[in-house]
Homo-oligomer: A and B are copies of this chain.
C-alpha cells in the first residue's frame, strides 16, 4: 500500500523535490476561512468559502504520522465563536484564537483517506478536531478517536457520541455530583449538551427544568426529551419570578450553558451546598465585554461549588460513556435531536444561526454523504 504525505497546495518544496511527479495527486478542497477577527455578533460575512486543493504525495512509511480525512460532518459548537475573537492565548488553555485567513477548526466526523500513522488506516471512521473543509490533513492525529460503533447516524459523533455527549456525561455526573430527588436547572436545554443533561437528570431521579428560546424547543423538552418542565426565556421578563415559580425551594444543580445575566440570577436561587457546572457561556461569546456577575457572594453564604470543565480532560471515561450511550440509544432510553444543514457552503449560516436560536437540537453541517454508511445507519 502506498503511503502519502498530504499538504496544502503551497510550500514544502524541499520535500516535493524528492518525489516523483506521478506519485502526486491533486484534489479540490473547498474551505471555510475566517476573514478577520470578529467583534460583536458574528455574521456570515466574517467567514468565506475558498476553493483550494490538497496534494497527496507518497511518502516513506511512517515518516510523518499524519492522516488525510475526508470530512463528513462538522459540528457548530458555540465555543467556536470565542476562538474568533482576538484575545491573548493563555498558556495551556485549549481555546486559543483562530488566525484570520486560516481554515476554521472544530469537532467533526471524517473518513481516513490516507494515513502514515500506525493507529489509523484507510477507510477508518474517526471523530475529533478537524478543519471546516472537504479534506483535512491532520499532522498529529493523536486527538482523533476511531469510531467503534458505526451503525448509528455518523453525525451523532459530533453530538451525543462525541464532545457534547461526553461533556454532558462528565459535566453532570462528575462535576455536579447529583443525588436522587435534587432539583436541576439546565439553560440552553435543547442544545447538544443540554438535551442530554436533562435526560441524565431524569435517569438519576431528579426534577429537571430547562430553558430554551422558542415554543418549539420548549415543547421538545417537555414532550420528547422528558424534562419535568421547560420555559421560553424570551417570554419570561422577570427571571427571578420564573425561577421562583419552577424552583420554589431553590436549585440544587445549575448546568450552565449560557453564563451572563442568567447565571447571575441563578446564583440567588441556588440552595445551600448547590453545584454549578460551568459548561458554556453562549450568551457572552458575541459581546465585546462579558457581562459582570454580581452575585458571587452567594458562593459563600450558600457554600456553592462552581466548576468549569472540558470533556478533553475525561478521555479515560470515553469508553464507558460510549457503551452506555450506544446501549441507551438502541434501547430508546436516550433520545437525541439534531438539526442538519447540508453542504459546506451552508456552514457559516448554520454557525451564525446557533447564536440566534435558529437550530432545534444540535446544529450539524453535512459536508459529504457516504452512501454505504447512510444505509448502515438506517439499521439502528
Contacts and interface: CB of A to CB of B under 8 A. Distances in A.
Contact of A92 (B95, B272, B293, B304): B272
B309 A281 contact: no
Nearest to A269: B90
Interface in A242-269: 249-250, 259, 263, 268
The secondary-structure label for the interface of chain A is loop
A91 to B, nearest CB: 7
A281 B300 contact: yes
Contacts of A93: 272, 301-302
Contacts of A279: 300
B271 A299 contact: no
Contacts of A263: 296
A310 interface: yes
Given A93-B272, A306-B306, A295 B290 contact: yes
A305 interface: yes
Contacts of A268: 90
B303 A306 contact: no
B300 A309 contact: yes
A190 to B, nearest CB: 20
A278 interface: yes
A290 to B, nearest CB: 5
A224 interface: no
A308 B313 contact: no
A290 B304 CA distance: 18
A151 interface: no
A294 interface: yes
A250 B93 CA distance: 12
Contact of A299 (B92, B284, B303, B306): B306
A1 interface: no
B294 A291 contact: yes
Given A250-B91, A301-B95, A278 B290 contact: no
A239 to B, nearest CB: 16
Nearest to A301: B93
Contact of A309 (B280, B303, B307): B303
Among A93, A268, A271, A278, the most chain B Cβ lie within 10 Å of the Cβ of: A278
Contacts of A284: 297
A94 interface: yes
Contacts of A271: 92
Contact of A293 (B90, B281, B292, B308): B292
Contact of A305 (B95, B280, B293, B305): B305
A24 B46 CA distance: 84
A21 interface: no
24 contacts: A91-B250, A92-B271, A93-B302, A259-B297, A263-B296, A278-B296, A278-B300, A281-B296, A284-B297, A290-B294, A291-B292, A292-B292, A292-B293, A293-B294, A299-B306, A301-B310, A302-B308, A303-B308, A303-B310, A303-B313, A304-B308, A306-B306, A306-B307, A307-B307
What are the 3 closest A-B residue pairs judged by CB atoms, nearest first?
A: A292-B292, A299-B308, A300-B308
Interface of A: 82, 90-95, 249-250, 259, 263, 268, 271-272, 278-281, 284, 289-310, 313
